[in-house]
Each structure stands twice: as C-alpha cells, then as structure tokens.
Amino acid sequence: MRILLAAINAKYIHSNLAVYSLKAYVRAEEEIQIAEYTINQQVNDILMDLYKKKPDVLCLSCYIWNRMYVQEIVHEIKKIMPQLIIWLGGPEVSYDSKRVLEELSKVTGVMKGEGEETFLELVRHYKGAPKTLADISGITFRDEAGNIVENPWRPVMDLSLVPFVYEDMEKFEHKIIYYESSRGCPFSCSYCLSSVDKSLRFRDMELVKRELQFFLDKKVPQVKFVDRTFNCKHEHAKEIWRYILEHDNGVTNFHFEIAADLLTEEEIALLQQMRPGLVQLEIGIQSTNRQTIKEICRTMDIEKVSQVVKEIHKNRNIHVHLDLIAGLPYEDYNSFCQSFNDVYAMEPDQLQLGFLKVLSGTDMLSKTAEYGLVFHDTPPYEVLFTDWLSYQDIIVLKGVEEMVEIYYNSAQFSASIKRLQPYFKTPFGMYYALAEFYRDQGFEEK
C-alpha cells in the first residue's frame, strides 16, 4: 500500500511543515512518500509526476492559496487513476469538511485539524489494521454506501511527541525552514482560524534548544517560527531569545510573529542586544480604530504598541514588519486612512496592507449579515465590500497597497519618499496620489 503526502506550495522557496510532520510521526511505517509542488507548475506536469509515483492513497494539504488548484488535481487524477483513494487535510478543509465532500465527490475523506495521530491511524487502517474509518477520530469520510460520516474531532496532542523533521537538510536546500515551538493561540480574533484552537501547547524547551542548535550548526539562512503569538508565554519566549543570542552563528535569521504590547522591558532589552539580522518581528496591528479592535475581539493597547515599536527601533538592529487589514467591521475609508497613518508613523521596515479573508470556522463568517460583509465565494475569500467600506473604496486601497509595495517595502526609494512626504498632509495621501498618478498615466495597465 503506497501512501503519498502531497503539498502544493505558493512558491518554490516554501516547504510544507505539515506533511513532513505527518510522515515523521508515522516513524517506522514504510512506503510513505512526500511530493512537493508549487501553484506555478502546470497541472498536467503534476498529474504526470503523481501518476509515475503510483500511490494507492493520495493525501493533499489544502490552504486558501492552493484550494482551487487541488480541486482541479482531484478532478483530473481520478480520470487516469480511478482506483486512487484521496484524502484532504489542512485549515482550508477542516472546518467545513462535510461541504467539501459534498462538492468533491472523488474525495474519500478529510482529516480535520491536527493531523499526526489521525494520519497514523489512517495509515494503519490502509495497511490492514482492524480499526475501521468509523473508529478513527478527527475525520469526515464517505462510507461504502456514499454517505458522509462526521466523526468527532480528536483531542489535541502533546507537541513534544512530534519528531524533528529536518534531520536531512538536503531536502530543504534553498528553502525557508518553518519551525513550531507552540501550537494554538490564547486570543480570540474573530477573523483568524488560530482563535479556534484554544489548547495552547509548548514544545519541551530542551528539545527546542537542541533543534535550534541543529539549525545554527547547519548555518540555515532563515528559520521562520510558525507559532501564532510567539511571546504569549514570557519565559518560553525569553529562553529561546536568550539561546539564539548566546549561540548566534552570525548567519541565521529567526522570524517571530509577536504581540508587541505583551513585550516586557526585559524582553525589549534582550532584543536590543541582538546582532542586526539575527531576529525579525512580525506584528499584526490590523487597525487602530478602538471600536474595530473591540468588535474583532482583539486585546491590544495601541499606545503601548507604538511605544514598544519605537523602543525596538532604537538600535536599528531588528527588522519590524507591521500588518494592517482593510475590511474589518466599523472601519470605514477615513478610519482606515487613520489606521494607515498611525502605523506608518511607527516606521516599520515593511508595512503589509492586507484585505480581510472570510474563513470557514471563524466568528467573522457567522457575522457576515450583521456587517453587510460580502466576499468572494472562492479562495482566498477576500472582502468585496462591507457596511462601512464600499467596493470603490476597496479599489482605491488596492492602488495604495501596490504603491506601498513598490515605493516603501522594496526599500529602493527610501530617500525619494522622505523628500516627497512634506508635500502631502498625510502618508496615506502621498500613496493615494502616487496610485492616482499611475492610473492617469496608464502605468497600472503595463
């Protein structure tokens, strides 16, 4: 029985931590293969490669960026491999698994949520173990009569039981290394799938240190922590930051997603000691509108965030990436302009202007009628308009987003932007004017 775990990534430099964790957890079981592709490849090329691998069971990892691509592969591969058993997993299919099976008649089942133990039981099932699909927690499946059966979700596992997946670094040459030291999130942001998993767990610190040292010894260019709020447990964050400070190899960069207002003076002092390039921080601010922040169930002290970012910037040794989301409740055009100006004033190294994605399983989806929230039916389910923000507003903000990417985030026009800024009342006004100039000159069509 040949079982293949397939990942379709957004870019070649990405790797899929999930499929490697599933295979590593199965450990001694044989005939588990991994295949990684990208959405930039032709579907036919992937079909040919999958056919050559001759799997009996194909497990596909699904995210908003590859859902439609996976759907096409599922539809086409059953034509050439009609006996193939197909399973899907990942956040894009976990929270509406029944609907997924209703829409994709060629799929046998969906692994819901955390997958290591579920996948192990599925492997044993297909290798002849007596446990039936009806006995396996954490799946929704199609029985022999074609009926869709939803089994209970599986309780979360001890994160320290997941094996380290990077022993063979040749597989990950020229790719970003993703690493998790915790799972779950303590917060309840209404737009975020991480808020669904309240079982916050941490990997054993001695394991973490050994694994970080492995990356340092191998001089890996970048390790990107996928912990949803890395610094939600102070001792955990401080111990990891101390370790990478004390064992810095002069090469490796570590990326963390944090909540800035949770940082303590001790943690800020620790970060200020880092070599330039050792650490980069991503901070999701999303909005500075207090009513919006309250409505989306975020807990954030905006004044403290601003002060903390200023402190982090003092030594100019930490790359800071700040995020905004357009389309949130109670955020109209003028309010978003203010949020933009507030965040721009914090002088981030990168400012990401994103647009709300309305994801299955989130509280945001349940309030679409209340917010007059209209969004694309297909992935990535991006907002079209709300009671506060029109589609015309969205078009304007898309133009501003493009100008921010070209002139700010590229870091190629820093001096020009500083010279240009005094001619405009606000930073947003400057990027708006640039977008209008692009439109008037027809540059956006080229």
259-285 pLDDT, tens digit each: 999 999 999 999 999 999 999 999 999
**What pLDDT band is residue 195 in, cutting at 50, 70 and 90?**
low
The answer to whether 274 and 318 have CB atoms below 8 angstroms apart is: yes
Does the pLDDT value for residue 29 go beyond 60? Answer: no
Report the alpha-carbon distance of residue 87 to residue 106 in Å, rounded.
10
Phi-psi category of residue 138: left, alpha or beta, with phi > 0 → left and psi -120 to 50 → alpha = left
- Report field, pTM of the whole predicted structure over 0.95: no
The answer to whether 240 and 255 have CB atoms below 8 angstroms apart is: no
The per-residue pLDDT for 199 is 80
Handedness of CA 386, 389, 390, 392 (dihedral sign): negative
85-144 pLDDT, tens digit each: 999 999 999 999 999 999 999 999 999 999 999 999 999 999 988 889 999 999 999 999
Handedness of CA 294, 300, 304, 308 (dihedral sign): negative
The fraction of the chain above a pLDDT of 70, given in percent, is 98
- Which tokens belong to 192? 């975020």
The fraction of the chain above a pLDDT of 90, given in percent, is 89
Indicate the angle between helix axes 234-246 and 205-217, nearest 10 degrees.
30
340-382 pLDDT, tens digit each: 999 999 999 999 999 999 999 899 999 999 999 999 999 999 9
3-class DSSP assignment, residue 296:
coil
